[in-house]
Amino acid sequence: MAKVTLIAYTPNPEKVIAQAARLCYSPASIENIADGLTDEKIASFVDMLAEIGHESPIEHASFTFGIEGVSRSLLAQITRHRIASYSVQSQRYVTEAHFEYVVPPEIDAIPEARAEFLAAMEEDQLHYEKLTALLKEKHKNALLQSGKDEKTADRSAQKMAIEDARFVLPNACDTKMICTFNARSLFNFFSHRCCNRAQWEIREVAIEMLRLVREVAPNLFRYSGPPCLRGACTEGKMSCGKRNEVRDFFKEIGAD
């Protein structure tokens, strides 16, 4: 089960953005830029930026998330969002002994499909362990012959072995990451990944990320989510056709 945590974020994110926006339009010095910035004025600056599409001041607020219990499949999708920073648990350095995996709900719901899936995971684990053992033996012998001591050879051989053995691991394999997005990049991420067209796993994660940032910056993320919250659906023939349901859903998690 995916777990998303908001680890850190720019303090007073909406105020920082309002200061950046005010700087663009006022002769005030940096020293005085925050003077008189009441909560109402901050909200009004943030709204104004969204309304006129002036998005660069929004880049000054960043949000760092911990995401765990997700598949390598999700990892491939989320890291396509280039305007973000990622640190991901490495399969080169961390041995996947008894690897965890994500079972897609549609597979989970059909007993026969679930049994097939679990059997594939068990088999993958066995192949991984067998490959690790075979590769480790070869590397260790070579390292011992090259003069390495037993402990060093064992440790290095294990690392070299898992580097290649991991190629047999499935997309379902569990992973964890820390990622940092600025708010502008999050707007784009939520537009793509909160949409019903996104795959269920990244959509669940994106919705949870949106819920977390709305708690700390409600004005900033008020209109965030799939494009149909703000106007017509942009998916053309691929539209889910459920705009009203989608709007109701996002209203429940704090959308306007």
Ligand X SMILES: Cc1cc2nc3c(=O)[nH]c(=O)nc-3n(C[C@H](O)[C@H](O)[C@H](O)COP(=O)(O)OP(=O)(O)OC[C@H]3O[C@@H](n4cnc5c(N)ncnc54)[C@H](O)[C@@H]3O)c2cc1C
As annotated, the active-site residues are 193
Is residue 151 at the binding interface for ligand X, with CB under 6 A as the rule? no
192 touching ligand X, by CB under 6 A: yes
Residue 109 as a binder of ligand X (CB under 6 A): the answer is: no
Choosing from 82, 98, 151, 237, the residue that interacts with ligand X (CB under 6 A) is: 82
Confirm or reject binding of residue 98 to ligand X (CB under 6 A). no
Min CB(234)–ligand X separation in Å = 11
By CB under 6 A, how many residues form the interface with ligand X? 10
Residue whose Cβ sits closest to ligand X: 82
Residue 156 or 188 with smaller CB distance to ligand X: 188
In the complex, minimum distance from the CB of residue 64 to ligand X, in angstroms, rounded to a whole number: 16
104 in Cβ contact with 199 (< 8 Å): no
Nearer to ligand X, 194 or 255 (CB): 194
Q: Based on the shown chain and the rule CB under 6 A, indicate whether residue 198 belongs to the binding site for ligand X.
A: yes
Binding mask 171-190 for ligand X (x = CB under 6 A): --------------x--x--
| Position among 41, 54, 80, 92 found at the interface with ligand X (CB under 6 A) | 80
Interface residues toward ligand X, by CB under 6 A: 80-83, 185, 188, 192-193, 197-198
